[in-house]
Amino acid sequence: MEGGNLEAQIEALLNVEKQMRLNGDVAGTRKAVTEILQLCFEARAWKTLNDQIVLLSKRRGQLKQAVTAMVQQAMLYIDDTPDLETKIELIKTLNSVSAGKIYVEIERARLVKKLAKIKEGQGLIAEAADLMQEIAVETFGAMAKTEKIAFILEQVRLCLDRQDYVRAQILSRKISPRVFDADTKEKKKPKEGENVVEEPPAEIPSLLGLKRIYYELMIRYHSHSNDYLEMCRCYKAIYETPSVKEDPAQWIPVLRKICWYLVLSPHDPMQSSLLNSTLEDKNLSEVPHFRLLLKQLITMEVIQWTVLWNKFKDEFENEKNMLGGPLGDKAGEDLRERVIEHNILVVSKYYSRITLNRLADLLCLSVQEAEKHLSDMVVSKALVAKIDRPMGIICFQSAKDSNDILNSWAMNLEKLLDLVEKSCHQIHKEMMVHKAALKV
C-alpha cells in the first residue's frame, strides 16, 4: 500500500472517529480506532502505528472503551514486529498511553512484563527488576488470582537474581501460603455491579504449579541466610503437593532434602515436631539410610562424628545430583556442629556434674572447643549450665531458690505419705484375707 493512499485512508477514518466520539457512539468510535490500527499494521507502517496510537489517545474527550480497544488491538501486533527495536518501541508507546489509566491497568502490567523479559534477555537484570517493581498488581481487582501470583513471583525471582534479598522478602510477603489451598470452591458468578475478573493468559501456570514455583523461590531466599528449618518447611510443602506425592521419582529427592535440612536445623520445638512427623512417614522406608539418620537424632546416645560422616559422606556428596542441588557451602561444618550440640544435650541428660576434660573426651574435641560449643549453647538458651573454670567442672543443674526447694520437699513428703497409706491399705487387706481363710 502506498504511503499517500494510507494517509488518505487514515484521514478519512479519523474524521469518522471524531464524529462518533462527539456523538458519544462507543461502538462506532471503537470500530474506527481499531480500523486505523489495522490499516497501519497491514501496511507494516510501524512508525505511523505508534504515532496514531499516541494521537488517538490524546484526542479531546476520548472514550475509555476506545482507548482500551486500541491498546488491546495493538498488543496483538507485538509478536509480529520485524525486529527487537520495533517491538520495544511499540511496547513503550503502549506503556506511555496506558500509564495512569485504571481501565487499562491489566494491559499495562502485561506490557511491562514483556518489556522486562526483553531486558532480562539482554542481560539487564537490574533494569528488568526495576520495571517490574513499578506495578502493584495486588491492587488490580479485575486481574485473575493466578495471574497476580505469577506476576509477584516474577518480581521476587528478578530480585533474587540481582541479589536484592530484602526487597525479595517484602514482595514474597504479598502472597499468603494459604492462598494455594483455597481454590477448591467453585467459581461464583459475579453479581451485578461487581468487577468481572478477566481470564488469565494461557501461559500462566495453575495454582498448584504456582505453589511449587513459590516454594522453590523461598528455598532460594532462605538458602542465602542458611535458614535450614525454613528450607525444610518449604520442601515439606512441595512434598505434600498431590502431583509430587504420586510420583516416587519426584518425592524421593524431596524427602531426602527434608531429612538433610532437619538434621542441619538447630534443635528447637519446631524442629522436634517436624522430625517426629517425618519419622512417622511410611515413605521413609524407601530411603532407609535417612530413617537411621533421623533415629540417631532422637535417641539419647552420643553420636561418633567420624562414624556418622563415613557412613553418610557419599549420600551427602550425592545431593548435588538431586533436585535442589548441593546442600550449601557451610552444610558440612553445620552438620558437625549439630552432632556436637546433640552430644552435649545427651550428656546434660545423664550428668548433673561433669569435668570439662571428660566432656571433651566424650565429644572427641579439645577442651577449648568443648567449652566454646557449650558456651554457645548456653548463650542461645538451648540448655542450662555453669562452668567452674578453676576446678574445671560443669554443672548442668540450675540453681534453685528457697521456694523451689521447699516446694520440692513438700511434693516429696506428699508422695511418701501417699505411698505409706497405700502400703497400710495393702497390709490390712492381706490380713483380712488370711483371717477369713483361717476361719474356713
Cβ neighbours of 105 (radius 10 Å): 20
Give domain status of residue 148, yes or no.
no
Greater model confidence, 49 or 6: 49
Give domain status of residue 60, yes or no.
yes
Give domain status of residue 203, yes or no.
no
Give domain status of residue 70, yes or no.
yes
User: What are 232-260's pLDDT values in tens digits?
Assistant: 889 988 888 888 888 788 888 888 888 88
The number of distinct structural domains making up the chain is: 2
**Total residues found in the chain within this entry:** 440
Average pLDDT of the residues in 34-60:
83
Give domain status of residue 157, yes or no.
no
pTM value surpassing 0.85: no
Give domain status of residue 223, yes or no.
no
Written as one string, the DSSP assignment of 29-86 is HHHHHHHHHHHHHHTT-HHHHHHHHHHHHHSTT--HHHHHHHHHHHHTTGGG-SSHHH
Residue after which a domain boundary falls, among 70, 98, 126: 98
Domain range holding 30?
A: 1-98
Q: CA 287, CA 225: separation in Å to the nearest integer?
A: 28
Give domain status of residue 380, yes or no.
yes
Closest CA to 71 of 116, 129, 123, 110: 110
CA distances from 196 to 98, 179, 188 (A): 20, 20, 11
Residue-level pLDDT at 175 = 86
Residue after which a domain boundary falls, among 98, 117, 145: 98
Residue after which a domain boundary falls, among 43, 76, 98: 98
Q: In sequence order, which residues have a C-beta less than 8 Å from that of residue 161 and are 6 or more positions away?
A: 125, 129
Give domain status of residue 72, yes or no.
yes
Give the domain CATH number at 368: 1.10.10.10
Lowest mean pLDDT among 181-195, 281-295, 318-332, 371-385: 181-195
Residue-level pLDDT at 292 = 84
Q: CA 353, CA 262: separation in Å to the nearest integer?
A: 30
Residue 309 pLDDT exceeds 90: no
Main-chain phi, psi angles of 248, to 5 degrees: -55, -35
Q: How would residue 88 be classed by pLDDT, with cut points 50, 70 and 90?
A: confident
Main-chain phi, psi angles of 329, to 5 degrees: -70, -35
The residue type of 372 is K
Average pLDDT of the residues in 283-292:
81
Q: How would residue 182 be classed by pLDDT, with cut points 50, 70 and 90?
A: low
Cell of 278: 517425618
